[in-house]
């Protein structure tokens, strides 16, 4: 009998995690061997367990899914990573694949589509939900990285979005520096750049913007 493929679930919503575990429990050849509720917990657990496949949400506390992908890809180049997300914009899709993901599936996908995505990624293929595949993947595969209409949020770098996310979650500069392995001065510089680019100048407006952009999910 073929050896089972191990799966790790990184998702901050317990109901969604439980649903995935229940679905995969009935799937022959797959075994859920771990789960995490935030990005940092995911990285620490995955380094120990080293699953065959990671099912990963993009919008999680502490570290985003894209940061998780980048960190894991450096250490485990052969690990398969399938993103499960609510985000359908060009920017999220392109950044996710550039970080090193193998698949991108929207959370409202059917059970059959999700299983197809899992099987495709485990078999070495790239998967992207049909609803967003045509335009985004054509641009990605051709190396075009222009987003059709840039919003203020699109002017932020990946690191600036990470800092903004953590600021909106209530972390202070020192805590952000510790989580991202950068100095407090660097955090302050990123914070100043964010405020200047967005023309937002207090914590409340930064938090509201982060929620609007989907960087922070309201519970």
Question: What local confidence, expressed as pLDDT, does residue 185 receive?
Answer: 93
pLDDT one-digit tens code per residue, 132-151: 766 565 655 555 444 444 55
Which residue in this structure is represented by tokens 């059917």? 110
Strands (E), 11-132: 30-36, 53-56, 80-85, 103-106, 127-128
pLDDT one-digit tens code per residue, 48-71: 999 999 999 998 888 889 889 988
Dihedral sign of CA atoms 138, 139, 141, 142 in order: positive
Question: What local confidence, expressed as pLDDT, does residue 46 receive?
Answer: 95
Decide if pLDDT at 219 tops 60.
no
Q: Which domains does the chain have, with CATH numbers?
A: 5-141 (3.40.50.2300), 152-212 (1.10.10.10)
Cα distances (angstroms) measured from residue 192 to each of 140, 170, 212 = 31, 17, 20
Decide if pLDDT at 203 tops 90.
no
Global pTM reads 0.70
pLDDT one-digit tens code per residue, 101-122: 999 999 888 889 999 999 999 9
């Amino acid at each position: 009998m073929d050896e089972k493929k191990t799966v790790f679930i990184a998702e901050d919503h317990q109901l969604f995690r439980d649903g995935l575990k229940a679905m995969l429990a009935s799937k022959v050849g797959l075994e859920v061997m771990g789960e995490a509720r935030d990005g940092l917990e995911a990285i620490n657990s995955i380094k120990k367990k080293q699953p065959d496949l990671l099912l990963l949400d993009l919008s999680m506390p502490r570290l985003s899914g894209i940061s998780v992908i980048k960190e894991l890809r450096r250490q485990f180049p052969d690990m398969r990573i399938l993103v499960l997300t609510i985000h359908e914009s060009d920017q999220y899709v392109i950044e996710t694949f550039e970080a090193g993901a193998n698949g991108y599936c929207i959370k409202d996908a059917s059970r059959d589509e999700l299983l197809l995505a899992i099987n495709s990624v485990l078999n070495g293929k790239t998967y992207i939900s049909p609803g967003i595949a045509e335009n985004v993947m054509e641009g990605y595969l051709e190396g075009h990285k222009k987003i059709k209409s840039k919003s203020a949020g699109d002017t932020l770098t990946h690191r600036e979005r990470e800092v903004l996310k953590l600021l909106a979650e209530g972390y202070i500069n020192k805590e952000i520096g510790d989580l991202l392995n950068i100095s407090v001065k660097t955090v302050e510089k990123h914070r100043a750049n964010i405020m200047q680019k967005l023309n937002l100048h207090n914590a409340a407006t930064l938090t509201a913007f982060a929620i609007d952009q989907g960087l922070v999910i309201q519970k």
